[in-house]
Structures are given as structure tokens and as C-alpha cells.
Amino acid sequence: MKARLNRRTLEMIHRALSYFPELQNSLITVGYTRKHLGSATVIYRKGVLTQLIIRLRARNVTYQTVGHELTHLVQGLTYGARSNSRSTESGKIPCGETQCDIWTLARDPLFCDDPPTYIKMPRRIREQWPDFADAVRELCISAIEKRLTQRHYIRWLEQEIRQLGKTAQAKKTGPAQLSLPFVL
């Protein structure tokens, strides 16, 4: 297969992998997809791990997407062989897309460069994501802690994010690009 990874995507994957010690010394096959932001596959044959694969959309790759797909690989390593029970142990990432988004955002601020896809949130927060990213990340960390004692931690998180959208003033981050005055 022809190598088609562009340098930016390769650098993003290497940087993101530094936040995933569970995947160190693992061979990960990286490919492209056109249909989704990304996908992850963990292949077991007769209970033995044989391949880890992530596929990313070629354009506009974000750390959030890379982190999300790497988190799916961690989920697959934990539960993929089906020999491990699906418990609520605090160290394990539960299966599911929303859970994957929560654990990805909580892992490091690096993965807060784009709003998550599966966590329900008001349009205002999605549209002004850079202003709310830190607060949502803190809520994700709190939700993971609440999971130990509260079964409906995702419902709690989404309610808190709705409240954040209603009450909090967006922190002003300034323009992303410098604007120069136009002189005639």
C-alpha cells in the first residue's frame, strides 16, 4: 500500500500518542477514510491481538479526532478479547462513543482543539468552542469522578454543559488571526 500520510497528520499522531501510554510499543496501522471523521478497529484472532487500525479523514484532522480514535483503541484493548468483563472499574474506559469523547477530553487539553461529536451540548458552546473548551474539559474530569458513585454521570455532564451554555459568559480568546487596518 502506498504511504499517503501527510507530514502534519503524522506529527499530530506522534504527539497524541505521547498521551496514551497504553498504546506504547504497539504497532498501529493508519489509513484514510472519506466517509467519517475517523474510525478505529481492534482485531483479535482466537483471543490474541493481531492488529490495531485507525482511519482518519485526510483533510482538517484535529487532535480531538485523533485522540478519540486512539481512545477507541484503548477501549478495544480492554474489552476486545471479550475475556475481560465489562465492569465499572475506575481505571477502565467504558465502551461507547459518548464515553470515548468524555475520556478523550479529560486526558489532556491538547484534545480540546475541536468540539466533541457525541456529547450533547448547546449550539452556542459548539460555535464558540475555544471559549468553553477548558470549562467543558473540567466537567468531563468531574464526570469521570462522579462515575464511581453516580450511575447517570453522562446525563449529569450534559446537564452541566447545558447550564454552562446558559449562565457562563464566554471567555474572550481574541481573534485567531491578526487583523490589520485597511488604509486607502
pLDDT digits (tens, 9 = 90+) for 5-53: 788 888 999 999 999 999 998 888 888 887 778 888 787 877 777 788 8
Distance, in Å, from the CA atom of 108 to the CA atom of 113, rounded to the nearest integer, reads 11
More confident residue, 17 or 80: 17
Query: In terms of Cα–Cα distance, which of 82, 91, 170, 83 is closest to 133?
Result: 170
- According to DSSP, residue 152 is labeled T
**Chain CA centroid to CA 24, Å:** 18
Q: Residue 110: what pLDDT?
A: 97
Distance, in Å, from the CA atom of 92 to the CA atom of 102, rounded to the nearest integer, reads 13
Q: Up-side HSE of residue 38: CA atoms within 13 Å toward CB?
A: 31
In this prediction, residues 106-117 reach a mean pLDDT of: 96
Task: Name the burial class of residue 181, with classes exposed (0-12), middle (13-18) and buried (19+) by CB atoms within 10 angstroms of its CB.
Answer: exposed
Query: In terms of Cα–Cα distance, which of 71, 5, 60, 68 is closest to 32?
Result: 5
In this prediction, residues 71-90 reach a mean pLDDT of: 70
Distance, in Å, from the CA atom of 116 to the CA atom of 147, rounded to the nearest integer, reads 19
More confident residue, 118 or 177: 118
Residue 89 scores a pLDDT above 70: no
1 pLDDT tier (thresholds 50, 70, 90): very low
In this prediction, residues 124-130 reach a mean pLDDT of: 95
Q: Residue 43: what pLDDT?
A: 78
Q: Residue 174: what pLDDT?
A: 58
